Amino acid sequence: MPYSVSKLTDFSTRALDEAITDVRDALREEAVAVSDQTQFKVHRDRWLARKNGILTQIRDLWLKQAPPEARAEVGKRFNELKDQVENILQTQKMELELRAAEKVASKRIDTLAEWKSMALGPSVDITLPGIRRSLGAEHPVIRTMHEMIGVFRNLGYSVEEGPEIETDFYNFEALNFPPNHPARDTQDTLFIAGQESKPLRDRLLLRTHTSPVQIRTMQKMKPPVRVVCPGKVHRNDALDATHSPIFHQIEGLAVDTNITFCDLKGTLDHAMKAMFGSSVKTRFYPSFFPFTEPSADAQISCIFCDGKGARDGAPCRNCKASGWIELLGCGMVDPNVYGFVDYDATKVSGFAFGMGVERIAILKYGVDDIQLFFNGDVRFLEQLG
Ligand code: PHE
C-alpha cells in the first residue's frame, strides 16, 4: 500500500513523532524504487507538488486542523519535516544526474570538476575567433570642434561655455540688436512659449548663435580677454542638405588695448591655414552684424579647385566657380556692446568671429549632406571615425 496522509486525532508529542517517522520511512521506501530521472520527476511531484503533494496534504490535514494549543509545535515539526524531505529529494536528484553522466561517459566520475564538465560539456571553445567589440570614436563634428579649439588654444585662448536656453537680453539686446530691429529677422529664432508677461529682455529662447557667450564672458572677466566659445545653437530652419535646425558654432573674442583689424585678419588667416593647409588663402568681404563694426565675412580660397574656380575643365561646383568659399562672420566689437558689459570703449578694442562647425566639417571631410552628421548611421560615421 503506498503511503497516504491520514487525519490526526492525537496531537501529543508522541503521536507526532510516530506520524512523522511514518512519513520519513515511506519516503525512503518509495525512493528505492526510483531508478532514473523520469521516475524521479513523478516521485518528486508526488511529494512536493504544491497542489496535493504529500507535504501539502500534511499541511492541510495536520497543521491547519491542529487545535490552537498544539499549533506552534505542529508548525515547527512540519517545517523541519519539509526541510528534510526537500534535502533528501535534492540529494537523490544529484545522485541520479551523476549516474546519468557516468553512463554518457561510460566511466566512473570521481571529482566534482570532472562531473561538471561532463554534465555541461566544454563551455568555452578556445579555438573559435573572439568577438571584437567596436571601439567608439569621436563624432566628426566634435572632432572638428576640438581641432579648431586646439588651434586657438595654441594662440593662448581659453574656452568658455554658456547656456543653450538664453534670454533675449544675451542673445539680442546686449549684442546691439535693438527691439524690432530687422537684423533679428536674419536669425529665425525658436522662442519658448508663454513668456509674454515678462519684459522682452527676460524672455527665454533657444540661442541662435554662440555670441551671447561673448557678453557673459565680458561680464565676468576684465580685459585682456581671449576666448573661444564652442556650443550648440538652434534656428527655425527647415532641413535640407546645408541646413539643420540644430548645429554648432565656435565663437571667438579678443579684447585688449590696441587690437586692430590687422590682428583679426592675421589670427583668422593663421587659423584657416592650420585647419585647411598652409596653401589656403583668406579674404575679407564687407558684411553686417549689429555687434561688430566694421563687419566682414571671411572667405577661404576653394580647397576643391585650389581657388581656380574650375576643376577638370568644368566649373567648380563647391565654390560656384568663384574660387572662394564663405566660412565665417567676424568684425571689430561694436563700441555699443562694451556699454552693456561695463568696458570702457575709449580704452579697449577687440575683434570677434563666429563660425559654423558643421560647415567646416563638410568642407574638411568632403561631406555633401549635413544630415549625415545627425542621423546616426554608423556606416557614415565609421568612415570618418
Ligand atoms: N553670431 C554671428 C552669426 O551667427 C556670427 C558672428 C560672430 C559674426 C561674431 C561676427 C562676430 O551669424
Mean pLDDT (10-residue bins), the chain, 385 residues: 86 89 91 90 93 92 89 91 92 86 74 67 76 86 97 98 97 93 85 93 96 98 97 94 94 97 98 96 96 97 94 91 96 97 97 97 93 92 84
- Measured in Å, residue 82 CA sits from the centre of ligand 1 at 80
Q: Which atom of ligand 1 is nearest to the CA of 356?
A: 4
Pocket probe for ligand 1: among 209, 232, 295, the residue whose CB has the most ligand atoms within 8 Å is 209
Q: Which atom of ligand 1 is nearest to the CA of 330?
A: 10
pLDDT of residue 115: 66
> 269 — alpha (psi -120 to 50), left (phi > 0) or beta?
alpha
Q: Which atom of ligand 1 is nearest to the CA of 209?
A: 4
Residues forming beta bridges with residue 159, ordered by sequence position: 228
pLDDT of residue 349: 98
- Among protein residues, the one with the nearest Cα to ligand 1's atom 8 is 329
pLDDT of residue 8: 85
Q: Which atom of ligand 1 is nearest to the CA of 214?
A: 9
- Measured in Å, residue 334 CA sits from the centre of ligand 1 at 12
- Measured in Å, residue 264 CA sits from the centre of ligand 1 at 14
What residue type is 127 in one-letter code?
T
- Measured in Å, residue 353 CA sits from the centre of ligand 1 at 6
pLDDT of residue 117: 67
Residues 6+ apart with CB under 8 A from 141: 248, 357, 358, 361, 373
- Among protein residues, the one with the nearest Cα to ligand 1's atom 4 is 209
- Measured in Å, residue 229 CA sits from the centre of ligand 1 at 12
Contact criterion met (CB below 8 Å) for 357 and 249: yes
**d(C-alpha 241, C-alpha 232), whole Å:** 18
Pocket of ligand 1 (CB under 6 A): 209, 211, 251, 289, 292, 329-331, 352-354
DSSP state of 191: B
pLDDT of residue 274: 97
- Among protein residues, the one with the nearest Cα to ligand 1's atom 3 is 209
- Among protein residues, the one with the nearest Cα to ligand 1's atom 9 is 353
- Measured in Å, residue 154 CA sits from the centre of ligand 1 at 22
- Measured in Å, residue 330 CA sits from the centre of ligand 1 at 6
- Measured in Å, residue 326 CA sits from the centre of ligand 1 at 13
Tell if the pTM clears 0.75, that is, is over it: no
Would you tell me how many other CB atoms lie within 10 Å of the CB of residue 310? Answer: 14
Element holding 360 (H helix, E strand): helix 357-365
**d(C-alpha 210, C-alpha 353), whole Å:** 10
Residues 6+ apart with CB under 8 A from 83: none
Cell of 127: 579555438
- Among protein residues, the one with the nearest Cα to ligand 1's atom 7 is 354
- Measured in Å, residue 251 CA sits from the centre of ligand 1 at 7
